[in-house]
Amino acid sequence: MYSFPLAESEQILNKDFANLYCDGDAFNGALYLTNERIVFVGYLLDINNKYIEEIPLVHIKEIKKDKTFFVIPNCLLVETIKERNLKFIISKRDKWYSKILEEINKL
């Protein structure tokens, strides 16, 4: 259901269900961290309308922890070098934050 192509040297390091808010749209789906990028695979209205958002780790300008409703610590804000702002609602936010930074620092 949540699938995307991997490069030959690419490995999935972490995955979990997530929500994505960007460009005025909201998506339910799954978030993946690979050794090369962050990939969100989701669906807007039904299973026939697949949406894939890919962010190469080298394109991440800033990543910040945030909270929903100013209380719940489950949000990651990602700003890209192309000035895109993406908001991921994810469980284990701190773990995701650390793993993403770890992979960025390897580059």
For the chain, what percentages of helix, strand and coil (3-state, to nearest 5) are there?
A: 15, 55, 30
Q: Distance from first CA to last CA of the chain, Å, rounded?
A: 30
Hey, what domains does the chain have and what are their CATH numbers?
12-106 (2.30.29.30)
Phi-psi region of 69 (alpha: psi -120 to 50; beta: other; left: phi over 0): left
Residue range 40-62, pLDDT digits in tens: 999 766 666 788 999 999 999 99
Q: How confident is the model at residue 14 (pLDDT cuts 50, 70, 90)?
A: very high
Residue range 71-86, pLDDT digits in tens: 999 999 999 999 999 9
Q: Average pLDDT, stretch 3-18?
A: 94
**What's the pLDDT score for residue 98?**
97
Average pLDDT, the chain: 92
| Cα 101 from Cα 104, distance rounded (Å) | 5
Q: Average pLDDT, stretch 91-103?
A: 97
**CA 84 from chain center: how many Å?**
13
18, 32 contact by CB (below 8 A): no
**What's the pLDDT score for residue 24?**
86
Question: Looking at per-residue confidence, does 95 or 107 come out higher?
Answer: 95
